[in-house]
Amino acid sequence: MTATCQTSVRKRPKHLGLSAILFQIKLPLPGKLSILHRASGVLLFLLLAPLLAFFQMSLTSPEAFASFQGYAAHPIIKAIFAVLIWAYMHHFCAGIRFLLLDAHTGLDLPSARRSAFLVFAASLLLTALLCWRILL
């Protein structure tokens, strides 16, 4: 008797460790989109200072513009720009999807799955296009 009682009483709240979050829990596509929207927002926030520094360099004087171009030609800076372009494109596309959901458009599961797929397709395509046009 006591044994059956004990198994039915679960410990709450259940705290998930990092490994559970990273490797055990499998999110559906809209869930992946959502957490990446958060991650991309944080990334954009963290990179605001270097972006502002580049913005300033590019607009201050021809000399500063030239040194900005020097930095921008560096492979590591290019890689960071590529990540940044992805973050903006993902945040932008997923953000518009969230705005539509907030306006009660496409709330049913099949539509939500389809729009999540479309967002991934669009943002990855735009990222590839912009990287090709700007970075290569």
Partner 1 sequence: MIHRIVVGAHYGLKDWLAQRVTAIIMAAYSLFLAIVLAAVQPVSFEAWRNIFTFGPVKFFTFVFGLSLLLHAWIGIRDLWMDYVQPVSVRLTLHVLTIVALIGYVGWFVTVLWRV
Q: Which is nearer to partner 1, 6 or 129 (CB)?
A: 129
On whether the CB atoms of residues 87 and 131 are closer than 8 A, the answer is: no
Question: Is 18 an interacting residue with respect to partner 1 (CB under 8 A)?
Answer: no
What DSSP string describes 26-66? Answer: ---HHHHHHHHHHHHHHHHHHTHHHHHHHHHHHHH-HHHHH
Q: Which of these ranges, 1-9, 10-18, 87-95, 112-120, lies near partner 1 under the rule CB under 8 A?
A: 87-95
Q: Which of 88, 50, 44 is nearest to 71 (CA)?
A: 50
Among 72, 95, 106, 114, binds ligand HEM (CB under 6 A): 95
Q: Please state the closest distance from residue 48 (CB atom) to partner 1, in A.
A: 6
Q: Is 118 in the site for partner 1 (CB under 8 A)?
A: no
Q: Which of residues 25-64 bind partner 1 (CB under 8 A)?
A: 38, 41-42, 44-45, 48-49, 52, 55-56, 58-62
Burial of 91-107, coded b for 16+ CB within 10 Å and e otherwise, reads bbbbeebeeeeeeeeee
Residues that bind ligand HEM (CB under 6 A): 37-38, 41-42, 44-45, 91-92, 95-96, 98-99
